[in-house]
Every structure is written in structure tokens, then in C-alpha cells.
Structure 1
Amino acid sequence: MTTAVRTSPNPPAPADILAGEKTPTQMMLVKLFAVIPLLALAASIPVAWGWGLDWVDIGLAAFFYTLTCLGVTVGFHRYFTHGAFTANRPLRIALAAIGSMAMQGPIIGWVADHRRHHAFADREGDPHSPWLYGTSAGALAKGFWHAHMGWMFQRERTNAARFAPDLLADRDIMRVDRLFPLLTVVTLLAPALAGGLITWSWWGALTAFFWASLVRVAVLHHVTWSVNSICHMIGARPYTARDKSANFWPLAIASMGESWHNSHHADPTCARHGVGRGQIDVSARVIWIFERFGWVTKVRWPRAERFARKLRGTATA
């Protein structure tokens, strides 16, 4: 048996980071949301060969992927978790609702988990660090699985009263949080409805449901989970951080800029993660557009002097 090797001398996390356990229903839903879209993705290869896929399906999948991914990256992550900008009320509610349509859980739990991740990054208390079991090949394989999706199957539930009291006190966000089941139905049925109306056929509705609902959700899940796993294991680490976060360029477009993860951990409240030359960050561009329309204010754009102080030279894992 491999002995766990902690990567930080920091003391263990305090007990109040948790708030009991997930209910059996919550555990069942986590498993369904994680496994069913994954099975649909695995089945997509034979389905794609010769039938069941056309430009309507591709277009709908791309649209709903982009929409819901930005709901997570711009909304759940950069806005609600880190306060990288201030949004007006209609946009605030829209970001909460659209992020919920990514089927990554209700907004308050998502934000609480991610704030906890930053508070205890890559040490005890981090809900999804890949480094908590050791550094041997077996330990890292176990850590990768845990960081990627295994952590969601654990019964412990992050204490939202500690990590997200601002959202618990927000009536609009509490309402969106309670509407998560309904928004899940919407995100699954809306592509099917659009596909059926565009093609005027039940077959068009069925193929749109498969590609733009199930497969789209599965791909988005694994891209998001890869930021938790891959982007804490391999990639460039040009900036000092308290953890092993890394910039992993191959995921930059699919993650809408989230995979510039070392840059993010170096300055978590910054609205732009891709701070280097040529680092594509779609989420930051969307925030920039919102700012031009006057929908957001107080945007925390990167400051050159701050990143210059954190620069330690380029190194790769």
C-alpha cells in the first residue's frame, strides 16, 4: 500500500468545512449526471458513422455547449466564486440560470466547493486535488481519478454557510438554486425541441437530444473536470502559487480559457486567465463585451506589475 505524501506543510483543514453528508437522492443524481452522459459519449462513435448526425445536430450541440460552458466559466466561476466583476441584476440571474444548465450541480454547492478548493488547494481539505494520495504511479492514477470525477461520489458536502454565505443571503440566487431540477429538464429538452422544429420530425428531435443534450453535457463535464485533474498535474507553471496548478494550452478553447489554470491560481480574482501573449481566453472576451454594453462594472483586469512579481520563469511538469 502506498503511503500518502502531502505536498504542503500547512496544517489540516478545520472540521467546519463540511456540512454533513449528501442525501441518498443527491448521491443518485450525481451518479446519473456523471455516468449517463459518459455512456452517451462512448456510444457516439458508432452512432456517428453513417447515420444519426447532421449539421443541425452539430450546430445545436455547439450552441448549447458554448452557452452553458460560458454560464459556468463567466458566471459560476469568475463572477459568483471570485467576484472578478460586478453584474447588474438581470445578467446576474441569467448567469446563474445558464450556469445551472451545465448540469454540474446547483449554484450554491458549486461555488462552495470551488471556494473550498482555493482555500485548501492541493492539500487536505481540497475536495478534488490529484496530489492527496502520494507521488507514486499508482497514487497519481488514484489521484487523477479522484480529481477528475471520483470526488463527486463521496458523501461529504461542503459547508455552504462557511464558503458561500453571500449566496445564501441572496434571494435571487437561492431561487435559482432551488430551480436546478427544472433547469436540468430545460437543458436536456430544449435541444430536442429545437431539433424537432428545425427538421419538423421526431427523428430530428431524437438525434438532437442525443448529440446536443447527452453528448454535449458529457463533453462539457469532462472538459470542466479536466481543469481539476489535468491542470493540477501537467503543464506550464510560469507563476508562483501555493499549489500545483498549471497552464495546459490544449484545453484553452474547449474550456473557454479556464485551462490557463496557473495564471488563475496566481491571481484568482482576475477576470482574464489567459494573461500571456497569444493565450486565448473566450470567457474574458465575453466579459469585455458585457463591460462595453454596460452590463458589468468593476472588472478586475490583469495588472502587469502584479503578474511580474509572481513570474518565476517557465517550467513544465
Structure 2
Amino acid sequence: MSLGATRSQLDAPPRKTAASQAYDGKSPFPATPPPPPRHTSERLYVTVTALIVVLPFLALGLAVWLLWGRLIHTTDVLLALALYVVTGLGVTVGFHRGLTHGGYRAARPVRIALAVAGSMSFQGDVIGWVATHRRHHAFTDRPGDPHSPYRYGTHLRGQLRGLVHAHVGWLFRNDPTPAERYAPDLLADRDIRAVSRAFPALCVLTLALPFALGWAIGGTWLHATTALLWAGVVRIALLHHVTWSVNSLCHMIGRRPFRTRRHDRATNLWPLALLSFGESWHNLHHADPTSARHGVDRGQIDPSAAVIRLLERLGWVHDVRWPTPDRVAARRT
């Protein structure tokens, strides 16, 4: 499937199912048949997911213990900031606006580099990430959405339960998204398949890199360990929760100045704009998914769009789908 076909699919209405047609926007999602028993590989996946979610909090506690009566090293902060920016932009510019939605076309080295950087965020292999996100757009806040906060209804208890589900609970459900249906273009891409297969090695690299740099700069085990802690594990945890907050908070809290599909409750949440590199201007994104810029109004900071603009000026990306005034105006409420 070509990228052009992917763009057409994203602009087209999603395929309707009996459950989504019957959904009234307030009730809990209809019950689904129980999933088949987990295979050993699936149980391993859940175990690894649990470790990824829980270990950063344990690491944060360890960091507090290590810093009791000590100062955090400047190197740790700078390395954490640098790796947060690189891996975060890999997710937002590479995984999301580029590979998922076709907001631009990139030269091959840039496409691969962004896919590698996004994979180092520890958020899953690139093909699985893209497939899940396309499925989210196809069924936003309706039955079929893998991480809607409205899964358990719109009453208070259901909303609280749904918030936990949208933020992190969905990762533990036996609800795989078939890449053959949602990301056939990436399965056909030899480079992206290679990056996807390399995901475990890239997870090791994203932790080994700060450890090695901490050792090289500080020259001691303590410097290497604190760099691993802050620029490795804690940095990963922060980016995880910022990303997950777009799934959860940006469908419950904030403003909705643009029209979206029926039942789609995506919002703009300004406090997350800088940390999420502009992803929390989520309402416009759901109103116009293929737009390369999400923050279109005055004062809306969108670092990911700024990076795409820079890459365009360097000639490394082209066919960028910048929002036009008419297109934006047509989507306002």
C-alpha cells in the first residue's frame, strides 16, 4: 500500500461495525467475547509490559534514596533532556505525524532515523505502534477503540475506571491490533520491518547509551548509575506518561474548538503542549488527522511542527500537509 493510499484511508470514514453503530455515546462499550487463552509469548509480553510500567517508579524511589544528601549531576539532567527530545520527537514526528498519518514524505535516511529514535522511547515496535494508533482513529471513543476513557460509560465510576484504562490499563488487555489490516504499508516496507525487528536491541541501546556516556563523562560507577537512572529509566517513564496522558486526559479534559467525528471527544490540553512536543493540541489533530501541524491557533506551541518545517527547508522531507486557513476554518465549531 502506498503512502498516498494511507492518506486516503485516514481521510475516509471508518469501517462501521454492529457494535459501533449501536453505541449511544454514553453507555459502557458492549461486552466482547472472551479472548483465547494466552500463549507463553503473550504472557511474556504482559510481564515485560508490567516491568516497563512499574520499574520506572521503583527507579524513581531509588533515585530519591541515592540523592539523599547528594546533588544530582548536571550531566544526568543534560543527558536526560537530550534523550527525551530525541526519542520524543522520534515518536511525534516519526511514528505519529509521518508513518501513521502521512503528514509528509521523508527521505529514506530521515525516515529510518526517526523510526529508530521513536523505537528508543520503549513504547513498542514501530509497526505495532502505528497499527494501534490507526485503529484508535478508526474507532475513536467507540467500541473498537483500544484505549478510550469512555470504555466503561460516562458516569463518574465509569469515567474513573476508563481514565485508568486509557492511560495504562489497555496495555495489559489481550486485544492485539492486526498490522495486516491497519499497517500493511509498513509491513511492505523493508526498512521499517528491519527497525521493527530491532526493537529489543534498541531498548537495550536506549539504556546502555546514558550508562556509557555517564561513565565516559564522570569516570565513575556512580556517574554511570545516576545517568542510567535519570537519563535512562526516569526519562523513559516521563515520556511514557506524557504519551499516555494524550490517550487519557486529552479525551476528557480541555477545549474542543474543532468538530470531530461522532462520539470523538479529543480535546486541546495546553499544559501538556511542550512536554508532548505539540501532541496535546489533540482536538485539531482528530479533526484533521493528516495535518503536519496540530497547534494552529495563536500561541499554541508545536515543536514537532517546527522540526518538520526545519526538515522541509533542509530538503529532507517534502509534500508536507500544512493546514490552510480554509481547511482550519471549515473544521471550527
With normalisation by structure 2, the TM-score equals 0.87
Cα distance per residue 1:88-133 (max 9 Å; x no partner) = 1101111111100000000010000000000000000000000111
Question: Identical aligned pairs, as a percentage?
Answer: 54
**1:255 pairs with 263, 276, 288, which one?**
276
Corresponding residue number in structure 2 for 1:99: 118
* 1:122 and 2:141 aligned: yes
Corresponding residue number in structure 2 for 1:299: 320
* 1:31 and 2:63 aligned: no
CA distance in 2, matches of 1:101, 1:163: 22
CA distance in 1, matches of 2:187, 2:26: 31
Corresponding residue number in structure 1 for 2:19: none
3-state SS of 2:176 partner: strand
Cα shift at 1:174: 0.6
3-state SS of 2:329 partner: helix
Unaligned 5+ residue runs, structure 2? 1-22
CA distance in 1, matches of 2:159, 2:328: 30
How do 1:4-23 and structure 2 match up within 5 A? 6-7=24-25, 23=42
CA contact (8 A) 1:12 1:125 kept: no
Cα shift at 1:40: 2.0
Cα shift at 1:31: 1.4
Corresponding residue number in structure 1 for 2:309: 288
CA distance in 1, matches of 2:71, 2:238: 18
CA distance in 2, matches of 1:262, 1:113: 19
Corresponding residue number in structure 1 for 2:300: 279
Unaligned 5+ residue runs, structure 1? 313-317
CA contact (8 A) 2:26 2:153 kept: no
Cα shift at 1:8: 7.4
CA contact (8 A) 1:8 1:123 kept: no
Using a 3 Å threshold, how does the CA distance of structure 1 residues 249 and 47 change in structure 2: closer, same or farther? Answer: farther
CA distance in 2, matches of 1:13, 1:87: 41
Corresponding residue number in structure 1 for 2:285: 264
Cα distance per residue 1:180-200 (max 9 Å; x no partner) = 000000001101111111111
With normalisation by structure 1, the TM-score equals 0.91
Cα shift at 1:310: 1.2
Letter in 2 for 1:63: A
Using a 3 Å threshold, how does the CA distance of structure 1 residues 81 and 255 change in structure 2: closer, same or farther? Answer: same
Corresponding residue number in structure 1 for 2:174: 155
Corresponding residue number in structure 1 for 2:11: none
Letter in 1 for 2:143: E
Cα distance per residue 1:145-173 (max 9 Å; x no partner) = 00000000011210110000000011111
